């Protein structure tokens, strides 16, 4: 990640509880970012298999990467086949 350290990551949302969710989401954020920073295209299932967490949580972490407070990284989505989508993160320097 850019200049932001792991301890500075602050998630938000109506149902988010820092004490109950913060560490778990930060660890998943780190695992998803470590995998996706290579710019390869992957489905949610492929990302989930490597990083753990649910596909919904993996999808939320991918959306986090676009937010300025999480680095403002590029993010792509394309159809692989039928209704199957794949995702890519383009790390901003």
Is residue 68 a part of any domain in this protein?
yes
Q: How many domains does the chain have?
A: 1
**How far is Cα 57 from Cα 63, in angstroms, rounded to an integer?**
10
User: Would you say residue 18 has pLDDT above 90?
Assistant: no
User: How far, in Å, CA of 78 to CA of 88, rounded?
Assistant: 9
The reported pLDDT for the residue numbered 22 is: 81
The larger pLDDT score, comparing residue 92 to residue 62, is at 62
Q: pLDDT-derived band of residue 20, with 50, 70 and 90 as boundaries?
A: confident
Q: pLDDT of 29-78, one tens digit each?
A: 999 999 999 999 999 999 999 999 999 999 999 999 999 989 999 989 99
pLDDT of residue 8: 62
Relative orientation angle of helices 18-36 and 44-51, to the nearest 10 degrees: 110
Residue 4 lies in a domain: no
* Residue 5 pLDDT greater than 80, yes or no: no
CB of 29 within 8 A of CB of 9? yes
Helices (H) and strands (E) in the chain, counts: 3, 3
Instruction: Give dist(CA 93, CA 83) in Å, integer.
Output: 32
Domain contains 5: no
User: Is 3 within a domain?
Assistant: no
């Amino acid at each position: 990640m850019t200049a932001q350290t792991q301890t500075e990551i602050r998630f938000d949302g109506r149902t988010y509880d820092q004490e109950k969710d913060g560490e778990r989401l930060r660890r998943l954020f780190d695992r998803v970012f470590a995998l996706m920073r290579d710019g390869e295209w992957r489905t949610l299932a492929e990302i989930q298999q490597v990083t753990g967490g649910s596909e919904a949580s993996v999808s939320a972490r991918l959306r986090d990467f676009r937010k300025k407070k999480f680095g403002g990284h590029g993010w792509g989505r394309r159809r692989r086949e039928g209704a199957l989508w794949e995702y890519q993160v383009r790390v901003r320097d």
